[in-house]
Amino acid sequence: MQSLVEKAEVLVEALPYMRRLLGKTVVIKFGGHAMVDAGIGASFAVDVVLLKHIGLKPVIVHGGGPQIASTLNRLGKESVFVEGLRVTDDETMDVVEMVLGGKVNREIVESVQRAGGRSVGLTGSDGALLRVRKKIVDGQDIGRVGEIVSVDPRVIVSVAESGFIPVVAPIGVDDEGLTYNVNADEAAGGLAEALEAEKLMLLTDVEGVLDSEGKLLSQLTVDQAQKYIDEGTITEGMIPKVSCCMRALKNSVSRAHIVDGRVLHAVLLEIFTDDAGVGTLFVP
Amino acid sequence: MQSLVEKAEVLVEALPYMRRLLGKTVVIKFGGHAMVDAGIGASFAVDVVLLKHIGLKPVIVHGGGPQIASTLNRLGKESVFVEGLRVTDDETMDVVEMVLGGKVNREIVESVQRAGGRSVGLTGSDGALLRVRKKIVDGQDIGRVGEIVSVDPRVIVSVAESGFIPVVAPIGVDDEGLTYNVNADEAAGGLAEALEAEKLMLLTDVEGVLDSEGKLLSQLTVDQAQKYIDEGTITEGMIPKVSCCMRALKNSVSRAHIVDGRVLHAVLLEIFTDDAGVGTLFVP
Amino acid sequence: MQSLVEKAEVLVEALPYMRRLLGKTVVIKFGGHAMVDAGIGASFAVDVVLLKHIGLKPVIVHGGGPQIASTLNRLGKESVFVEGLRVTDDETMDVVEMVLGGKVNREIVESVQRAGGRSVGLTGSDGALLRVRKKIVDGQDIGRVGEIVSVDPRVIVSVAESGFIPVVAPIGVDDEGLTYNVNADEAAGGLAEALEAEKLMLLTDVEGVLDSEGKLLSQLTVDQAQKYIDEGTITEGMIPKVSCCMRALKNSVSRAHIVDGRVLHAVLLEIFTDDAGVGTLFVP
Amino acid sequence: MQSLVEKAEVLVEALPYMRRLLGKTVVIKFGGHAMVDAGIGASFAVDVVLLKHIGLKPVIVHGGGPQIASTLNRLGKESVFVEGLRVTDDETMDVVEMVLGGKVNREIVESVQRAGGRSVGLTGSDGALLRVRKKIVDGQDIGRVGEIVSVDPRVIVSVAESGFIPVVAPIGVDDEGLTYNVNADEAAGGLAEALEAEKLMLLTDVEGVLDSEGKLLSQLTVDQAQKYIDEGTITEGMIPKVSCCMRALKNSVSRAHIVDGRVLHAVLLEIFTDDAGVGTLFVP
Amino acid sequence: MQSLVEKAEVLVEALPYMRRLLGKTVVIKFGGHAMVDAGIGASFAVDVVLLKHIGLKPVIVHGGGPQIASTLNRLGKESVFVEGLRVTDDETMDVVEMVLGGKVNREIVESVQRAGGRSVGLTGSDGALLRVRKKIVDGQDIGRVGEIVSVDPRVIVSVAESGFIPVVAPIGVDDEGLTYNVNADEAAGGLAEALEAEKLMLLTDVEGVLDSEGKLLSQLTVDQAQKYIDEGTITEGMIPKVSCCMRALKNSVSRAHIVDGRVLHAVLLEIFTDDAGVGTLFVP
Amino acid sequence: MQSLVEKAEVLVEALPYMRRLLGKTVVIKFGGHAMVDAGIGASFAVDVVLLKHIGLKPVIVHGGGPQIASTLNRLGKESVFVEGLRVTDDETMDVVEMVLGGKVNREIVESVQRAGGRSVGLTGSDGALLRVRKKIVDGQDIGRVGEIVSVDPRVIVSVAESGFIPVVAPIGVDDEGLTYNVNADEAAGGLAEALEAEKLMLLTDVEGVLDSEGKLLSQLTVDQAQKYIDEGTITEGMIPKVSCCMRALKNSVSRAHIVDGRVLHAVLLEIFTDDAGVGTLFVP
């Protein structure tokens, strides 16, 4: 009996968080380890369904780099990168679309539905959700890699209000209707801004942002984050994610988190506890 | 960290129950020990607020026998009972109304609000919620004790849909607008039927319905319950509550429970577990 | 036949008033003689039901000083007053709540329902309607006597829009959920302001505000009223009511009346005639 | 003061009638003396506006025989009648439409608006409200005189729900869109049936239906009315109106009245009294 | 088959216009030749029904000078004009109302309904749609000729939203409810302004606005139009229509057209082509 | 000018069809030649956007056999067929999902959006739209080929009501969430039934159903179709499509068409003409 009462206490502890977040949008970038470990993937799906049920509006954005690489491999196509971005010719873009929109996206939709939710898979071309233009990197044309110009969130709002959990593949379209590969963190940030989300949550394969001694920084203001970047404490691999969080906070998003996606139920923990043990929280 | 993950698991376990009960009405008779023990009372209030928050529609009906007795005592008025029912002259009825409607009801409203909910106190005369007639016991007129003739649940529906938790004192009115004392279990049962509630839950000061060897019967069908009554296994004190549950099941209520109100978070446990450790469940 | 036609003319005369007040809120302080004379009480209830029916939104606030006094008397408890305010220890507050919320409020609800309306009794603790703090009078702590800090009118709006006539007992709660006795005129004024009422109507046991020769002042501007108070024409007993009207006019209420509650159908007369024969009208 | 209270009593007496008729449709045939006496006409308009205001849905249908005759006269056109019905050639029909739709209808609309209502004039061709076919009388073609085939009340419902009082000229259209003159009582009856009106009220220039000794019959069942017709007590001039009332009662209308339109406020009196002094009431 | 495909191309060409005008109001002054030629009249009705069907909100305003003149003639009444305006004594106004409201208006309603639409005929007195005052021309009182003071478009909105096409006769009312003759172009302009119409379209019996060499001016800015008036290129007969278009453009109407009503389907052509072959387009 | 008037006549001719189909659902199977010819594909997209604009609810279901075959080819994977159905092992299914959901579906979404519509791509796994089970052909397990068990059209209804045109890839899920390849004609038929569509339209690469002499059968009843199948006139390749139409007509779909998708604007022609020149119409 004692343990039952303890369980009840857990629910009771969650109550104030539920109340505070009722009706709020949470955009979650799902990727990395969590996406390839079946157990973590299933726990992620359950977390999202739980959020939906208790009245939040979760939106999932996913990446898919490893899956794209593996398919290109099978097709005997070599991957070239410029500043960490995949050079994307038309043939590669075909593969990107098929893998992200036709495979990875569908698998996440299915796992959410297996967890008891109702889900709809989308790409940034549905309802012209993500309008992009070609990204020029250091003056170089690296093909069909896009940067976000504007977001029309109506298709998200429509399916979310009908009770579905939207799962978005990071593909954008330009004014001519040509599709482009978009960085998934950027896509998640852009959606969070357009939806005026309460939270942006980026799942990664590290503990969070670390200080120069490798200790987790559990909370950072925008100014502190900028200072750490300027000082070189926050290093290359992490800078894009941190910048993404900083920009979101400047554009109507209330909270941004970089969360350790390798932890079971990382999403729930971040939502329902004040303990910042599972990542780094950015505040304005 | 481990314990955080365990907490998350508790939330996840609750998910299927939440989904099943979304939008459903639960009528809870609150009384006995739970009403006089401050800790239990506060845990009860939190449980109800939690149910409201996750999308159920809780309705509280309360008694108040001990409080009535103590006030009558202070006024030097003796209590007389016939078949367990208080003989209620006009002066006594004045006290009943003042204590139930003016004191006990208000205290529960306040405790729910302290737990973070928004609550409205009602009596059966608000919106003519409980229409009654004088109860005749063994041919005896025992004064203003009423039995329910009809229930007009519109006032409950109105406040519940506006986000409030209704707290109902068991006072009814007859066709002339004269008020009567009503048994709180009967009032809860009548409301559950009129609201086509998913659950009727009667909090008591015992473990539940016991068999002839004093062992808890964790589940009973209507037929089994009748058999136990006929055999004398279910004894006098418990018969009215059991009958109340049986009648509710015959009239559009899906589940009825007699729950041990002395247990912390008894309401949550009953809602969120399949383990029937905290009382007796009646099924059709 | 002639008299029938005259009756029709009365209805026709009322038409422009009906049109002007359609959908408007009228807050009425019910008290004094009207509350203890059965005939006047019944005529008051009918008036309120009529207002509701033709499309106004009446809200009743009641007092209950005499009933409280009489119950305290029966309990052998002496009443002490400071500046006209009852010193209210915890035991007294218990009685105040029971009498106002459990007895007087219920009787008014019942009389409105006997007149054909549907009514809901409320106190200022329902839905945290009246938030108060302890009133300090001349530096003296006189116990649980509250002054209004804020009003959350949602519970009123909810029941009024569902077709019920709200009847409010003047009890407030502080931030800790502790209840306080509130002056009924102040409560009515506070509700009128929060509801942006068209009219505030205070029923009293006198003809209205009188000038220095004892003649009724049928209309007063806020400035005139202030002048009469400064000159001493408006005397002590009447000052709180007059101040209450003046404050309401400064806070979004369009008209305030002090009405002679001893007159049959005083409310209807004030609503449906331009003749100011039944009291004093305050205008900005 | 006494007379003020009496006025209030009149309003109070009207309350149960208001409550019973809330939201109900009343179709009133306006014609005869009432239409040509300015005073009676104005009192009629006020009555209708009052009904609208207190929540009924009045619909006016008017005739215009005398005005048509006078215009035909001015144009030097002779009137021919068969069985009381005007033989209506195309030229006459032009005059009928201009007088009913362009003059009489407009005047009633204006008088209702002067009484404070908002009104819309319609004919049976608006929205194909009254679908008719040519009436053959004793095998004779008497031109463009129509009998109702079907009623499409949507245009009435649309304007009535937007707060307007519909005023209908009795002109119908056949399947080819050709217009026809329709008897105003029949048109009123047809509308009452299609709108499932609570009341059909035919204003006439007599006291009501009289018995063989010239005494008013204040109430008649359908069967009694049939018997009086069979016996010849109800004579020729009155038979069409009585038949119209009888048919309406058989087709979803609850009450039908033949009312003395020469009495001031005849409509209000019939609505707000049980005294049947101003005409004859037909009940099923 | 080829011709079928060409037909489909026509529909496809219309698509961008449909999309641009969805939900927009178009006020069309119908008059002159189009109103007396049966074929043109029928094609006009079909055009309007088509606009309604594909999601525009057409409103028709009509004139009726010739029909009024002919009826006055038959009645032996001479027509007198001052500055092109008919001197309108009370007897003449009676004829105006009967002809416009009782005949011309009804015929248009019927022709729209024969084309498959649902239509409601209105005059400016319905719902006090057109409030006017007496027009004084060169200091002269020319009787019941009105100029628009204000427009209350609610009756139009109400019937249009219920799926009907409003057909408005240009009759206004003054504050006393007296009716006045209003110029139909002015009435159309006034309605277009009050309804914040997308388009005002005036059908005439000429090709459009011509330059000094008799060549059609297919597009004019407000400034250009003013210049042509100042230079005398736009002559007397056309000035009122041009002024009407210019005023509309200054008051929230987006486009104004003077269209050759003698052309079959003139309305559709103007709506669905960029070719300005059928009249003159005014732009801000 | 003449040709402009002819264009207007085309619009006018379309009016009765528009009226009849307002608000109705049309499910269109898009495939074959039309899908690979850029010009036809663009004309198809425009047709669908036009239907959406004028108030119909088009739903597109597409195939993709050739594109799947070509990708499998590139991957060096051989295609095996049993009774015309592709044997689909897990690796093949991966390709099917990527090609249908990630490539073909996206291209159609984009082409609809280039034509001016707003579109959302879906597969049968979104919102568990198409629930299937493994199809057994002649007792043989041919892998992940599914037959429809049930359809949950809520995701279609949700996006269609928000103004989007749904484009559905024929992939279904079984109870375990495993995906299956579904025949596109069957998927279109199943959706049409579940949506109670007005029309089911299957685009093919032939003229329609031909008789034994190769002449087009422009209309067939269900009984006639069965007879032609029994007689062997309708041959193997066409039988599945014909059966699909027949089943739809038996299950709440009003009309089914087999349409020659090689004709420009084939969809519009079928919708807006009575001439059955572009295919075969099936009627109950």
Q: What does each C-alpha distance from A72 to A69, A86, A141, E240 come to in angstroms?
A: 5, 12, 21, 73
Verify C-A touch: 3 or more CB pairs within 8 A.
no
pLDDT for position F4: 67
The yes-or-no verdict on residue C1 having pLDDT over 70 is: no
Q: What does each C-alpha distance from D2 to C14, C39, C265, C269, D7 come to in angstroms?
A: 17, 16, 11, 11, 9
Residues C130-154 have a mean pLDDT of 94
Strand order from edge to edge, sheet including E279-283: E119-123, E165-169, E57-62, E25-30, E199-204, E255-260, E279-283, E219-221
**Of residues C36 and E103, more confidently modeled:** E103
Nearest CA in chain C to B96: C102
**What are the extents of the domains in chain A?**
28-283
Could F122 and A119 be called an inter-chain contact, meaning their C-beta atoms sit closer than 8 Å? Answer: no
% of chain D with per-residue pLDDT over 70:
97
Give contacts of B52 with chain A, Cβ < 8 Å.
none
D100 shares contact with chain E (CB less than 8 Å): yes
The DSSP bridge partners found for residue B132 are B148
Residue of C92, C98, C110 to mutate for B, most B C-beta atoms under 10 A: C98
F76 shares contact with chain A (CB less than 8 Å): no
D14 shares contact with chain C (CB less than 8 Å): yes
The yes-or-no verdict on residue D205 having pLDDT over 50 is: yes
F15, F54, F268: residue with CB nearest E8? F268
Which element (helix H / strand E) includes E107? helix E105-114
B177 shares contact with chain C (CB less than 8 Å): yes
Neighbours of chain E (3+ CB pairs under 8 A): D, F
Instruction: Provide the mean pLDDT of chain C.
Output: 91
% of chain E with per-residue pLDDT over 70:
97
Give contacts of C11 with chain D, Cβ < 8 Å.
10-11, 14, 50, 268, 272
SS3 D163: coil
Q: Is the Cβ–Cβ distance between C90 and B103 less than 8 Å? A: no
Verify A-E touch: 3 or more CB pairs within 8 A.
no
The topology (CATH level 3) of D23-216+240-279 is Carbamate kinase (3.40.1160)
Q: For residue F75, what pLDDT band results from cuts at 50, 70 and 90?
A: confident
What are the backbone dihedrals phi and psi of residue E270, each rounded to the nearest 5 degrees, phi first? -65, -35
Distance from CA of A186 to the nearest CA of F (A): 21
E179 shares contact with chain D (CB less than 8 Å): yes
pLDDT for position E153: 97
Residues C27-49 have a mean pLDDT of 90
**E98 Cβ neighbours under 8 A, 6+ residues apart:** D98, D99, D102, D103, E71
The yes-or-no verdict on residue C196 having pLDDT over 90 is: yes
The yes-or-no verdict on residue D274 having pLDDT over 70 is: no
Q: What is the pLDDT of residues E12-50, one digit of tens each?
A: 888 888 888 889 999 999 987 778 888 889 999 999 999
The CATH number of F21-283, from 3.40.1160.10, 3.90.1150.10, 3.30.300.30, 2.20.25.90, is 3.40.1160.10
The yes-or-no verdict on residue D276 having pLDDT over 60 is: no
Domain boundaries C21-205+256-278, corresponding CATH code: 3.40.1160.10
pLDDT for position B1: 43
Q: What is the pLDDT of residues D143-160, one digit of tens each?
A: 999 999 999 999 999 999
The yes-or-no verdict on residue E1 having pLDDT over 60 is: no
pLDDT for position E39: 87
Could F113 and A125 be called an inter-chain contact, meaning their C-beta atoms sit closer than 8 Å? Answer: yes
Could F177 and A120 be called an inter-chain contact, meaning their C-beta atoms sit closer than 8 Å? Answer: no
C15 shares contact with chain D (CB less than 8 Å): yes
Below-70 pLDDT ranges, chain A: 1-4, 274-277
Q: For residue D1, what pLDDT band results from cuts at 50, 70 and 90?
A: very low
Q: What is the dihedral of CA B206, B212, B213, B219, to 10 degrees?
A: -60
> In sequence order, what DSSP letters do the residues of D229-276 get, joined into one string?
HHHT-S-TTTHHHHHHHHHHHHTT--EEEEEETTSTTHHHHHHH-S--
pLDDT for position D61: 98
A162 shares contact with chain F (CB less than 8 Å): yes
C106 shares contact with chain B (CB less than 8 Å): yes
Distance from CA of E160 to the nearest CA of D (A): 10
Residues F28-33 have a mean pLDDT of 89
> In sequence order, what DSSP letters do the residues of A143-169 get, joined into one string?
EEEEEEEEE-THHHHHHHHTT-EEEEE
Nearest to C104 by CA among C163, C180, C39, C41: C41
Average pLDDT, consecutive stretches of 10 residues, N- to C-terminus, chain B (284 residues): 70 83 94 84 93 93 91 86 88 94 94 94 96 92 95 96 96 94 96 97 92 90 94 87 95 93 88 73 92
The yes-or-no verdict on residue F119 having pLDDT over 60 is: yes
Could F265 and E49 be called an inter-chain contact, meaning their C-beta atoms sit closer than 8 Å? Answer: no
E1, E116, E272: residue with CB nearest F11? E272
SS3 C265: coil
B110 shares contact with chain C (CB less than 8 Å): yes
pLDDT for position E37: 87
Report domain A28-283's class. Answer: alpha beta
Q: What is the pLDDT of residues F152-164, one digit of tens each?
A: 999 999 999 999 9
Give contacts of B154 with chain C, Cβ < 8 Å.
118, 162
Give contacts of A173 with chain F, Cβ < 8 Å.
110, 113
Q: What is the pLDDT of residues F129-155, one digit of tens each?
A: 999 999 998 889 999 999 999 999 999
Q: Is the Cβ–Cβ distance between F100 and F72 less than 8 Å? A: no
Q: For residue D85, what pLDDT band results from cuts at 50, 70 and 90?
A: confident
Residue where the block lists tokens 């329609």: F208
C174 shares contact with chain B (CB less than 8 Å): no
Instruction: Provide the mean pLDDT of chain E.
Output: 91
What is the C-alpha to C-alpha distance for residues B137 and B88, in angstroms, rounded to an integer? 13
Residues C215-238 have a mean pLDDT of 91
pLDDT for position B153: 97
B155 shares contact with chain C (CB less than 8 Å): yes
**Of residues A278 and E63, more confidently modeled:** E63
The yes-or-no verdict on residue E88 having pLDDT over 90 is: yes
Here the tokens at position F90 are 């897990």
Give contacts of E16 with chain F, Cβ < 8 Å.
116
% of chain F with per-residue pLDDT over 90:
65
Residue spans of alpha helices (H) in chain B: 2-21, 33-36, 38-53, 65-74, 90-99, 105-114, 154-161, 184-194, 222-231, 239-250, 266-272
Poorest-pLDDT segment among C229-238, E95-104, F269-278:
F269-278
Could C15 and D46 be called an inter-chain contact, meaning their C-beta atoms sit closer than 8 Å? Answer: yes
Distance from CA of E163 to the nearest CA of F (A): 13
Q: What's this model's pTM, rounded to 2 decimal places?
A: 0.84
% of chain D with per-residue pLDDT over 90:
64
Q: For residue F277, what pLDDT band results from cuts at 50, 70 and 90?
A: low
Residues C13-27 have a mean pLDDT of 88
Residues D78-91 have a mean pLDDT of 88
Distance from CA of E103 to the nearest CA of D (A): 6
Residue B37, CA atoms < 13 Å, CB-side half-sphere: 15
What is the C-alpha to C-alpha distance for residues D77 and D57, in angstroms, rounded to an integer? 39
pLDDT for position E255: 94
pLDDT for position E237: 80
Q: What is the pLDDT of residues F259-276, one digit of tens each?
A: 999 988 889 888 887 655
The topology (CATH level 3) of E21-223+243-276 is Carbamate kinase (3.40.1160)
The topology (CATH level 3) of B18-283 is Carbamate kinase (3.40.1160)
The DSSP bridge partners found for residue D25 are D57
- Judging by DSSP bridges, how do beta strands E119-123 and D255-260 pair with one another? unpaired
Q: Is the Cβ–Cβ distance between E272 and E17 less than 8 Å? A: yes
**Of residues E75 and A179, more confidently modeled:** A179
Nearest CA in chain B to C166: B126
% of chain E with per-residue pLDDT over 90:
65
What is the C-alpha to C-alpha distance for residues A43 and A45, in angstroms, rounded to an integer? 5
Highest mean pLDDT among C223-227, C264-268, E269-273, F272-276: C223-227
Q: For residue D179, what pLDDT band results from cuts at 50, 70 and 90?
A: very high
F8 shares contact with chain E (CB less than 8 Å): yes
Give contacts of A74 with chain F, Cβ < 8 Å.
75
The DSSP bridge partners found for residue B280 are B258
Could B50 and A11 be called an inter-chain contact, meaning their C-beta atoms sit closer than 8 Å? Answer: yes
What is the C-alpha to C-alpha distance for residues A225 and A223, in angstroms, rounded to an integer? 5
The DSSP bridge partners found for residue E82 are E85
Residues C45-59 have a mean pLDDT of 93
B97, B99, B118: residue with CB nearest C127? B118
How many Å from the N-terminal Cα to the C-terminal Cα in chain F? 44
Neighbours of chain A (3+ CB pairs under 8 A): B, F
10 Å CB burial of residue D204 (0-12, 13-18, 19+) is buried
